Amino acid sequence: MRALATSPGFYFAWAGIHHFTELGRLTQAMAARGVPAARSVLLIGSAFQAVCAIALILGFWPGWAALGLVLFTIVASIMFLDFWNKESEARAGAIGTWKTNCALIGGLLIAAAHSVGRTAA
């Protein structure tokens, strides 16, 4: 079970930390999508993602960490994968990424369910 919980943790930790290396580009992309205070939203979201992921990897409140990543994934998907506003290949790509994110959410929910009552490794 521990491997199940840590696998998505590593994915989210890498992604959250990687955002800090792309601040300028990602901030511009978010601002272009109309995200208010794009840099602040990016910094807070990326830090939240990385902290939850590291907590999941270390087994520190793993259920809450997994649920935090579920929340992050849902919000990020709604913000950036608006397939309902896209057409053709862009729509298909966004739908495909939604499906991937739903699978990640499923894995995180399983990890959360199996860690009920655990507070530390």
Let me know if residue 121 belongs to a domain: no
The structure's pTM equals 0.86
pLDDT digits 0-9 by tens, 34-79: 899 999 999 999 999 999 999 999 988 999 999 999 999 999 999 8
Residue 121: per-residue pLDDT: 56
Residue 73: per-residue pLDDT: 96
What is the average per-residue pLDDT within 17-25?
93
Retrieve residue 22's tokens.
């792309």
pLDDT at 4 over 60: no
What is the average per-residue pLDDT within 85-100?
90
Number of domains in the chain: 1
Q: What confidence category does residue 7 fall into, taking pLDDT thresholds of 50, 70 and 90?
A: confident
Let me know if residue 39 belongs to a domain: yes
Let me know if residue 93 belongs to a domain: yes
Q: Cβ(7)–Cβ(103) under 8 Å?
A: no
Q: Print the domain residue range for 58.
A: 2-114
Dist. CA 76–CA 70, nearest whole Å = 10
Let me know if residue 120 belongs to a domain: no
Q: Cβ(37)–Cβ(14) under 8 Å?
A: no
